[in-house]
Amino acid sequence: MVYLKNDNEIEKMRESAQLVSQTLAEVARSIREGITTAELNQIAEDFIKKHNGKPVFKGYGPRKNPFPAALCISVNEEVVHGIPGDRVLQAGDIVSIDCGIHKNGFIGDSAYTFVVEECDEETMALLKTTIESLYLGISKARHGNTTGDIGSAIQSHCESAGYGVIRELVGHGVGRNLHEDPAVPNYGYAGRGKRLRSGTTLAVEPMITMGGREIKTLDDGWTITTADGKRSAHYEHDIVVKDGEADILSTFAYIEEITKIQIDNVVTHG
């Protein structure tokens, strides 16, 4: 069941989404060679609590194996759900950081793939294509369109560049709960899928690989990697479907202020 949000609820969601965006920017200040993923996680958790939010990922999942951290930090071949720990970042790594926050009754959920120091042109091309696909997908999130319109736009852009589009992991509705209806696949056929209506709030999040689209889950029960060990990129925004251009609730502008990087001049903040 899709729960449509009213203007008051959307503004509360915007506040949560903006805090997520600010948290990712705060983490960006410390991304460098030599830092551990656990240290980045602690920076985020302290910042979230300081601003009266609650890390929504921490404790999420099955009772026997809940996710243990505030951030999902996924490095290189790790696609999503990487558990922060003693892994030390190296120059040339790419790091997907996914953050979810609960504040004022609503969830914000956004992700960004960072470069540690600098990386090769092949990797930068993957990042550029993935972030372009995010905005192409969002451009299709209009009243009367379908989730298939979003997925088709993402899939066609990425596969035409030779990249893999993961099928098992998808975007989703978001609101009072982290995962709501509808599911938002990053693949599909235009005109198919769930019909979108104004007031629908979505987390659109392409997860794109440099190689094949097959994935595997590590023994920790959370970390998902590419099956072939090739690198993967991940970007995510919270949006509201409108009768016209979607309203993007999260932003990458805070990150860009810190990193001073816009990927090949792609306008990434919406």
Q: What does the domain layout of the chain look like in residue ranges?
A: 7-265
| Spatial contact of 184 and 140, defined as CB atoms under 8 Å apart | no
Residues 235-255: tens digit of each pLDDT = 999 999 999 999 999 999 999
- What is the topology classification, in CATH, of domain 7-265? Creatine Amidinohydrolase (3.90.230)
Q: What token pair was written down for 266?
A: 């792609």
Confidence check: pLDDT of 29 > 70: yes
Q: What is the pLDDT of residue 13?
A: 98
What kind and span of H or E run contains 23? helix 7-28
Q: What is the pLDDT of residue 32?
A: 96
Q: How many percent of the chain have pLDDT more than 70?
A: 96
Per-residue confidence at 265, pLDDT binned at 50, 70, 90?
Answer: very low
pTM: 0.95
User: Which pLDDT belongs to residue 261?
Assistant: 59
Cα 259 from Cα 15, distance rounded (Å):
23
Report the mean per-residue pLDDT for the chain. Answer: 95
Measured between alpha carbons, how far is 162 from 108 in angstroms, rounded to an integer? 32
Query: What percent of the chain stands above pLDDT 90?
Result: 94
Q: Distance between CA 76 and CA 231 in Å, rounded?
A: 5
